[in-house]
Amino acid sequence: MTAFLAIVEDTWRQSKQQVVFFILAGVLVLTAIGFLAGFKVKNNAEGKQVMSLPFGSDEEAGLGLDFLWDAKYRELVHQELKHDEALRRKREEYEAAQARFAELARSGTPGDEALTAANNAIDDKRRELKDLQTSQLEAAQEVVDQRTKGLSEMDKGVEIWLHWTVWLLFKFSMWLFIAGCAGYFPGMLAAGAVDVLVSKPISRAQLFFGKFLGGMVLYSALLLAVYLLVFVGVGIRTGVWHGRLFAGIPLTIFSAALLYSMVAWIGVFTRSTAFAIIIGYLFYFIIDTFVGWTQRIGEIGELAESFSTVKAVSDFAKIAFPGFGRLEDAASAAVLNVPILEFQPFLVATLWMAACLGTAYWRFQKLDF
């Protein structure tokens, strides 16, 4: 424990020497303050308190954020219940029936029994598709009704506001954490710094994983402090103490750990802070953005069915790359009590983290110092 605390202290020493960590802290705190000041509490036309944006007259009705909550919550429930997948399969059956009818029409004659049967099949599949859409809407609404019993307009406004807060804090913290953590391993491996650490009774495993966990401890402490600021500030201003705000923390920390493992891998192999920053941003901004778009395109039925290559690339992207966008969506959705995290992206992200840390540690053991 003493060795671990020593490494955490060394990580904090490095952070104090880097302006980026304080910029990260400043941006997150300012973001939290912005969300605390970015709304107002007012009475709607029915005399009920609602959360609203800080513009428009108090007499205007229907401007509470609760109306945005309804649409967003229903959208997330559809994702949770995997309605898109079922619709895609049913749409494929419907289009297959259409293709069968067209093929028979080219070779058959009007009144042919096979042609009539194929036409009836189209009607059946169209009816099934419509019934499925109706049943999905009813199922989603049932879930919404069950989970929102007793929620007031103010409760809904606070939930959607905190949903956006978690989403933006996730993005800002990932962007700046890349630069904040990029220098930890190269700085530790610099001449002189590593000699001091190695001279202490600390194994290389403690040194390597202690440095990784030290960075995560600092990030987690900062994130928790910002979340507490938002929780207390919104609670005081609205009277709604929404504890599910903290449900966004685990996935945010997990995503930061995944990103840190990639940056650490680059830092150990290159010993260059600048290179770790460049590659880290290249992956997060460009590669992960492309992967995220590719994964989502494959879920759009019409595009996936029209372009089989796109669907194949999308399926490969889901298996081969961790999607920060999916983790981000799951973190912000957790605030609304909608568990949309799928097992596959979490598993892929875990495997990437294990591979990065495993190979980086192997390289760390081989280094001479």
- Angle, helices 204-238 vs 2-17, to 10°: value is 70
Choose the weakest-confidence range: 52-56, 177-181, 358-362: 52-56
Quick check: helix, strand or coil at residue 194? helix
Q: What's the average model confidence in pLDDT over 173-183? A: 88
Mean pLDDT of the chain: 79
For residues 237 and 207, membership in a common domain is answered with yes
Ranked by mean pLDDT, which of 69-83, 112-126, 213-227, 297-311 comes out on top? 213-227
Is the distance from CB of 296 to CB of 323 less than 8 angstroms? no
Ranked by mean pLDDT, which of 77-81, 314-318, 351-355 comes out on top? 351-355
Give me the phi and psi of 123, to 5 degrees please: -60, -40
Q: Is it the case that residue 323 has pLDDT exceeding 50?
A: yes
For residues 268 and 279, membership in a common domain is answered with yes
Quick check: helix, strand or coil at residue 251? helix
Q: Is it the case that residue 307 has pLDDT exceeding 70?
A: no
Q: Choose the final residue of a domain: 103, 121, 151.
A: 151
Total number of domains in the chain: 2
For residues 204 and 312, membership in a common domain is answered with yes
- Tens digit of pLDDT for each residue in 70-118? 777 777 776 666 666 777 777 778 778 877 777 777 775 555 677 777 7
29 vs 7, 39, 161, 165, CA distance in Å?
26, 17, 16, 12
Q: Is it the case that residue 320 has pLDDT exceeding 90?
A: no
Q: Residue type at 326?
A: R
Locus of tokens 């905190």: 162
For residues 346 and 201, membership in a common domain is answered with yes
Q: What's the average model confidence in pLDDT over 140-150? A: 73
For residues 57 and 94, membership in a common domain is answered with no
For residue 85, what are the domain limits? 81-151
For residues 41 and 104, membership in a common domain is answered with no
Is the distance from CB of 318 to CB of 153 less than 8 angstroms? no
For residues 273 and 302, membership in a common domain is answered with yes
Which of 274, 279, 265 minimizes the C-alpha distance to 363? 265
In this prediction, residue 121 carries a pLDDT of 82
For residues 281 and 307, membership in a common domain is answered with yes
Q: What's the average model confidence in pLDDT over 216-230? A: 93
Q: Is it the case that residue 201 has pLDDT exceeding 70?
A: no
290: DSSP letter: H
For residues 35 and 63, membership in a common domain is answered with yes
For residues 259 and 225, membership in a common domain is answered with yes
CA 362 from centroid of its chain's CA atoms: 30
Kindly state the helix (H) or strand (E) to which residue 50 belongs, with its residue range: strand 49-52
User: Which is higher by pLDDT, 66 or 315?
Assistant: 66
User: Which is higher by pLDDT, 270 or 116?
Assistant: 270
Q: Choose the final residue of a domain: 98, 121, 151.
A: 151
For residues 227 and 328, membership in a common domain is answered with yes
Q: Choose the final residue of a domain: 111, 127, 151.
A: 151
Q: Is it the case that residue 227 has pLDDT exceeding 90?
A: yes
311 vs 55, 101, 156, 323, CA distance in Å?
44, 25, 37, 16
266 vs 56, 253, 254, 308, CA distance in Å?
50, 20, 19, 35
